[in-house]
Every structure is written in structure tokens, then in C-alpha cells.
Homo-oligomer: A and B are copies of this chain.
């Protein structure tokens, strides 16, 4: 299986979803990106269609927005 990318920003909603996704998909199948700590990845996330976090970008390139933690605008405003 190819790797998915899970984008989050450290909020409680994100951390809870992160644990669920790792359990479901398997830790080896998902890269975790903390946008508040890795701000250089924000452009990649937006290019992949991420509009809010937490979000999972699948190996096929679809952005799945999971629950709602924060909008990308909020993430950028917090940096």
C-alpha cells in the first residue's frame, strides 16, 4: 500500500483523529505532518486540496477532511 499523508496542527481534535487513523490504516502507511511545526509543508497541503485540519490525503490524491479542528486560514494565522 502506498503512503497517505495526515496533516494536523496539534489541536485536540487533530490528535484524537491521528490516533484513530494510525490504528485503522497502520503507522507504516501514513506520514504525519504537523503544520504548525512544519510550516514549509503548508503549500503542499493546500495544493493537495486540504481546506481544514485534520485531513488525510490518500495515495490516490484525494483529500479527506476528518471532523473539524481548524481551517487552513486559522493554521496560517497562528504561525
Contact = CB atoms under 8 A, between A and B. Distances in A.
A66 interface: yes
Interface string A62-75: 10111110000000
Interface majority SS on A: helix, strand, loop or mixed? mixed
Contacts of A66: 64-66
24 contacts: A1-B24, A4-B24, A16-B62, A17-B64, A20-B58, A20-B60, A20-B62, A20-B64, A21-B64, A23-B58, A23-B59, A23-B60, A24-B24, A24-B25, A24-B29, A24-B56, A24-B58, A25-B25, A64-B66, A64-B67, A65-B66, A65-B67, A65-B68, A66-B66
Interface of A: 1, 4, 16-17, 20-21, 23-25, 29, 56, 58-60, 62, 64-68
